[in-house]
Amino acid sequence: MGGMKSLSPPRFRGRLHDPRTATALGRCLGAAVLTCFVTGLISHVLQEPPGVLADRLPSRPVNGYRINQGVHVATGIAAIPLLLAKLWTVYPRLFTWPAVRGVRHALERLSVGVLVAAALLQLFLGLLNIVQWYPWPFSFRPVHWALAWVLAGSLLLHLAVQAPRIAAHWRRRSTGTRQLPDEERDEPDRRSLLLGVGAAVGAVTVVTVGQTFAPLRPLNLLGPRHPEHGSQGLPVNRSAAAARVSPAAVRDWRLRVAGPLPYTLTWAELAALPQHDSELPIACVEGWSAMARWRGVRMRDLLDRAGAPSGATVRIVSLQRKGGYAVSEMGASYARDPLTLLALRLNGEILNADHGYPARVIAPNRPGVLQTKWVTRIEVLT
């Protein structure tokens, strides 16, 4: 083996490594990535509202967060076949020779490298996060958030660079497509490949989306959650044991409401106040969701009793000693919503320990992590 020969780039004689196939797959993949980016952005704002928005986030539609997160996770899963097929199509370009033809070319290749790396890692992180598996050393949320901007940004850059090529191969009859060598032979083969990839997109979607989309629930074979598996008819994300909420901690439980007119209530006193029913979903950031019937005291009734002004933000404190969001804030738009409850009952039964006994928050259009369980203190902030 001559040293030079082993250094020369490999040649690809296989079919369909052409710009028309890349365009046909790329536009679906691009749409998927941008959908994931926008839904991710919405989810981020709802979970960590920036100061100016904190009291103005909409509490409608009731199912807003549920749909947003369902779409986010389903689109991410659907992007897996698309990304692999797209990278397969353009793989020979990795061996472009000469590897670098100047500064502009080097920058272009670097940006494609960033795009590929970010796309692969984002889908990998997301896929593992939905089964709550974290084999990496860094924290998931800030990295997934930062890489989302890197991925969407490098995608736009890629679209700008490739725009003429994409336009030339947008349709079967576009100029560039017609000028491809062997197009007559490749066209039916391409259609068959796209059908195969489309079938894979359909298959992975149909067997997972039932974790949030009720009509497809019977086909939920690979979803990490199933809305019907869980105590009191609802899945549990963090159990009382995992949150270190012991039976002793709730034995002498009192609800303390701090505000202009502070007061304390026992569970029995709380249960004697006017009770209201809300039909609201628990919708988790990991893409699963389930509807439930809740019964308890309206948050705004509790706040009015404490003499809270109507625009006040509220701090909710939980008994949980492990896991994030033990202390969280609820904006005025949620706190004043008539559907927002400090719930005592779930699907007709008193909350069990894993669902947040003695009392938990349930509000419309909010991520599951903010539906605080084991509530011990409500503070009116001014």
Partner 1 sequence: MTALRVMLATTGAAMLGWGCWLLVTETREGTVPQTTAWLAGAVVVHDGLVAPLLLLLGAALGHFGARLRRRHGYGPEAARQDDVRRVPGALRGGLIVAGCLTLVALPALLRQDQPRYPSALPLDYTANWLTLLGLTTLVTVALLVLPGVARRLRTRRTRAGRARD
Residue 255 pairs in a beta bridge with 265
User: What gap in Å lies between CA 12 and CA 324, rounded to an integer?
Assistant: 51
Selected range binding partner 1 among 24-32, 55-63, 106-114, 301-309, rule: CB under 8 A: 106-114
DSSP characters over 15-43: S--SHHHHHHHHHHHHHHHHHHHHHHHHH
Sheet strand arrangement including 263-265: 263-265, 255-258, 375-381, 313-318, 327-330
Q: Does 77 bind partner 1 (CB under 8 A)?
A: yes
Name which of 118 and 344 has its Cβ closer to partner 1: 118
Sign of CA dihedral 194, 197, 200, 201: negative
Q: Does 31 bind partner 1 (CB under 8 A)?
A: no
Q: Does 327 bind partner 1 (CB under 8 A)?
A: no
> Which of 102, 137, 181, 348 is in the footprint of partner 1 by CB under 8 A?
137
Under rule CB under 8 A, which residues in 187-226 are in contact with partner 1? 188-189, 192-193, 195-197, 199-201, 203-204, 207-208, 220-226
Instruction: Kindly report the number of other CB atoms within 10 A of residue 155's CB atom.
Output: 20
Name which of 211 and 333 has its Cβ closer to partner 1: 211
What are the angstrom distances between the C-alpha of 125 and each of 46, 65, 134, 154, 262?
21, 21, 8, 18, 45
Distant-in-sequence, close-in-space partners of 197: CB < 8 Å, separation ≥ 6: 25, 81, 82, 85
Q: Does 307 bind partner 1 (CB under 8 A)?
A: no
Q: Does 160 bind partner 1 (CB under 8 A)?
A: yes
Q: Does 147 bind partner 1 (CB under 8 A)?
A: yes
> Which of 53, 60, 100, 132 is in the footprint of partner 1 by CB under 8 A?
132
Q: Does 355 bind partner 1 (CB under 8 A)?
A: no
Give me the numbers of helices (H) and strands (E) for the chain, helices first please: 11, 10
> Which of 145, 170, 267, 325 is in the footprint of partner 1 by CB under 8 A?
145
Q: Does 155 bind partner 1 (CB under 8 A)?
A: yes
> Which of 114, 216, 250, 350 is in the footprint of partner 1 by CB under 8 A?
114
Q: Does 239 bind partner 1 (CB under 8 A)?
A: yes
Q: Does 103 bind partner 1 (CB under 8 A)?
A: no
